[in-house]
Amino acid sequence: MLFDKTFYKKEFGNCIAGSRIKKSKETFKIKLFLQKAENSLLIAKHHKDINPTGDQPKKLHWDYWAIIISYYAMLYSAKAAILSKGYEAEDHDAVQIALGHLLVPDRIEKEDLELLNQAHKIFEEEYVHFFEDAKSESHVARYSAIKTYTQRRLEEIFNNATKFIAKISLILE
């Protein structure tokens, strides 16, 4: 799926108009959201790696929660990044829209960061795709009656969440 910066700009305006994204000066929340993200990722790892005993729920159920918690870890770090730009998003889709609009640089911004030797601060569009993918899988894990996840898929979502949070932490340094 191609990343459409124009789409995110338009949707960002719609979210502002609909009060789903609002201006905010509550920057003290940035650190709190990052702490929630990092701790949630540790909890997701615990769920992902657990080998349940006979009296515990089957591994499948732990995997659901590992995916859900991985996604929420990404959500919390995304909320921190959005706050650093002076906004707060009210719902999950608005968070994704704000990420795409506020964090993914256009070509000129990307070139400027590269010239300043700050290419490490570029939030690539792939991170928005990581977020979207985890959001979708989290939804399925929460609301479907049953779905079996392969270990590879579980690892992919967890690893993408780890990269996502690390990138946002690097940008916010």
List, for residues 76-126, the tens digit of each pLDDT value. 999 999 999 999 999 999 999 999 999 987 776 666 666 666 666 678 889
Gap between the Cα atoms of 52 and 75, Å rounded: 27
Per-residue pLDDT at 146: 72
Burial label, 8 (beta-carbon count in 10 A; 0-12, 13-18, 19+)? buried
Segment 141-168 shows an average pLDDT of 90
Question: What's the whole-model pTM score?
Answer: 0.91
**172 alpha carbon, distance to own chain's centre:** 14
Q: What is the mean pLDDT of the chain?
A: 91
What domains, with CATH codes, occur in the chain?
Answer: 5-172 (1.20.120.330)
Per-residue pLDDT at 150: 81
Q: Residue type for 25, please?
A: K
